[in-house]
Amino acid sequence: MRILRTSTGLALATMLSFHLPCLRAGSVDSNDTSVRTAPGDSKAAPDAAMAAAHSAAKGDGLLEALLTELDRSKAQLKMDQVQAPYFIEYRVNEVEDFSAEAAFGALRENQHVYVRVLRVVVRIGDYKQDSYFGRGQGESSYLPLDDDPIALRHQIWLATDEAYKAAGQALAEKQAALKQFSADPNPVDDFAKAPPLIAVEPTVALKVDEFAWEKTLEDATAIYKNYPDVQSLTASARFTADNEYLVNSEGTVTRSGKTTYLVSLNSSAQAADGMRLGRSPAYIVGRNEELPSHDALLGDAKKMLDTVVALRQAPIVEEEYRGPVLFAADAANDIVSSLIGQNVLGQKPQLGRPNRTTGAFATSYKTRVLPTFLTVVDDPTLKDFQGKSLVGSYAVDSEAVKAQPVNVIENGVLTNYLAGRQPIRDFPNSNGHGRGAPGSSPGPSVGVLLVKSSESQSLADLKKKVIQMVTDQGKPYGYRVDTLGQPGNTPRLLYRVYADGHEELVRGAVFSELDLRALRSDLLAVGNDPLVSNRAGRTPTTVISPSLLFGELEVKRADTSKDKLPDYPAPPLKK
């Protein structure tokens, strides 16, 4: 099929992706946000709530336009045979985004995006059962960049109309779909009530010298010239300021801003046998002054390339090893994020499924999931940790619910889930963890996940313990893993720890059976060295975990193909 068209437009969805690569690093942020509850509780007359909302929005053209359309839609939106909405929400993310990438000493990408993305949710039905299903989960649209009220409202109006019609259809589809299942005697509500909240905070903007950063990225990648064995070297930066505006028909008006600064390095090489080896360290911070300086980044780039070169020379692991493995805090953070962070989310299963959540902890409520010496808390209200900004910190979530600390695992026992406004069995309310990327539906998400222990030890003691164990078991060495690669938690820097204390770098390993059972039963001890690991995913999150020592884990040779080496040498350098 061939298509000939005159029309041209903007491929916004295609051109702009808010998905940041899932990266992580050591880091810090604070936004000084004070939150107050709207005058009157949720039972107050909605008119009073809306009046308070209007007065809070005064002076902000975007909030005013949102409220004007909200009032109009609330009062008038009604189609034959379809109920009027019982809830309407507008969330706008005003995103300023700078990104740049250099390869081999030369810049090959730089862009600056400034965009406003609206997400409209219109709900029909009631809190018990509503239209939040399929297309009824909301509509997205771009909004004008200036505050012209008519131009703004025009796009809001169109998106609301679409969302309402979609909600009407979605409710009918949902009710039809529910007919396939026998009625639930204790149904879980579709939507949690939340008190109206008024919290209009100052907006944020990017504060970086873009030109200087482009130069730094070029300089950091120019050092490939001194590393003939390194095949690729890139450095990239992505700096984002995201101001989130939210108004809803319950009388909530919030505005909050957040900056995230990411700088990452990436390099790869092949060993003589063809095995591909890579490193991809990153810095993710909430305040630009915490980013590494030009010289510090160059120094780190050299260190990284040194490890790549060392990996090329390193021996391949034996076919299989079972024994103690010590995860340094950086590697431990990845384990905590993937095995604990993903499973404590209170994500409601799909229609008709009786489980509590979609995660592996769905049926683990009130059971032991970790050793009793461990407690896990998610506390987005924590702004700094050991002087470092936490990008997972926030005061109000993407559903305008105040952030709260939540003890998810207490002394090894699962006691709670991270929840947004979509209730799950036994947990009818949001605990302020509903977060969403710009333009997408919010869902339960990690904020700042901390692993705490009543029995922590120094790293040196943990290493001694590894040596003791291998000696007792008659093994020549144990393993210590420094850092992992994603996806799949594969070791990037893995060392053999010999009885005399010396270490040897190895390559080509994977962990097997690194799972929930191992966490619950084989985790022996933790370090006293909690490390901040900021992560830039769909929404920025932070994990803080100390080193973890597993008594028994399997390390085995990776089953990956060894690619051919280049068919001819790299070009000689001109300068």
Partner 1 sequence: MKISETSGTCGNLRFRGLQVVRVAASWVLAAQLAFVPFAYGTAGKSDSPMPAAPASDPVLKAMQGELARASSELGKAEQPPYYLSYTVYDQEFTVLVGAYGSLLHTTAAQHRQADVTMRVGTPELDNTHGQSRGSGITSGPLPFGNDQDAIARILWELTDREFKRAVPTLLNVRTNTAVRAEEEDKSPDFSKEKPQTHLGEVPPPALFDRSAWEGEIKRLSAAFRKYPDVYFATVVLQVQRSNSRMVSSEGSSIVSPTASTRLVMEAQTRADDGMDLLRVETFQAPSAGGLPGETDLSAKIEKMASDLNALRKAPVAEPYDGPALLSGRAAAVFFHEVLGHRLEGHRQRDEEEGQTFTKKVGQEVLPKFLSVIDDPTMHEIAGVKLAGTYDFDNEGEPAQRVNVIENGVLKNFLLSRMPIKDFGNSNGHGRSQPGLMPTGRQGNLIVTSSQTVPDSQLRQKLIDEVKKQNKPYGLYFDDIQGGFTLTGRSLPQAFQVLPVIVYKVYADGRPDELVRGVDIVGTPLAALTRILLTGDQPHVFNGVCGAESGQVPVAAVAPSMLFSEMEVQKRAHEHERPPLLPPPGFEDTSVGKDAQAKPEGKP
564 contacts partner 1 (rule: CB under 8 A): yes
Give the H/E segment covering residue 265.
Answer: strand 253-270
Residue 561 within binding range of partner 1, rule CB under 8 A: no
Q: Quick check: 272 binds partner 1 (CB under 8 A)? A: no
Nearer Cβ to partner 1, position 170 or 526? 170
Number of residues interacting with partner 1: please give it, by CB under 8 A.
87
Closest CA to 546 of 473, 454, 430, 464: 454
* 268 is a site residue for partner 1 (CB under 8 A): no
Minimum gap (Å) between residue 121 Cβ and partner 1 = 13
Q: Tell the smallest beta-carbon distance from residue 59 to partner 1 (Å).
A: 19
Report how far residue 340's alpha carbon sits from residue 347's, in angstroms, rounded to the nearest whole number.
14
Smallest gap from Cβ 152 to partner 1, in A, equals: 7
- The answer to whether the CB of 506 falls within 8 A of the CB of 496 is yes
Q: For residues 331-370, which are near partner 1 according to CB under 8 A?
A: none
166 binds partner 1 (CB under 8 A): yes
Q: Please, what sign has the CA dihedral across residues 307, 312, 318, 320?
A: positive
| Contact between 81 and partner 1 per CB under 8 A | no
- Within residues 411-450, the interface with partner 1 by CB under 8 A covers 437, 439-440
| Member of 50, 66, 70, 102 binding partner 1 (CB under 8 A) | 102
**Is residue 464 part of the contact set for partner 1 (CB under 8 A)?**
no
Among 69, 290, 334, 522, which residue sits at the site for partner 1 (rule: CB under 8 A)? 69
Binding part of the chain for partner 1, among 206-214, 251-259, 317-325, 448-456 by CB under 8 A, reads: 206-214
If binding is defined by CB under 8 A, does position 185 make contact with partner 1? no
Are the beta carbons of 445 and 535 closer than 8 angstroms?
no
HEC per residue, 199-215:
EECCCCCCCCCHHHHHH
Task: Report the residue number, 387 or 566, with the smaller CB distance to partner 1.
Answer: 566
| Contact call for residues 525 and 457 (beta carbons, < 8 A) | yes
124-143: which residues touch partner 1 (CB under 8 A)?
A: 135, 139-143
DSSP assignment letter at 380: T
Q: Is 4 in the site for partner 1 (CB under 8 A)?
A: yes
CB 485 within 8 A of CB 280: yes
* d(C-alpha 334, C-alpha 502), whole Å: 25
**Contact call for residue 162 and partner 1 (CB under 8 A):** yes
Largest separation between any pair of C-alpha atoms in the chain: 81
84 binds partner 1 (CB under 8 A): no
- My answer on whether omega of the bond before 487 falls inside 30° of 0, hence cis, is yes
Q: Tell me the CB-side half-sphere exposure of residue 552, using CA atoms within 13 A.
A: 5
Residues belonging to the chain = 575
Residue 45 within binding range of partner 1, rule CB under 8 A: no
- If binding is defined by CB under 8 A, does position 155 make contact with partner 1? yes
DSSP letter assigned to residue 349: P
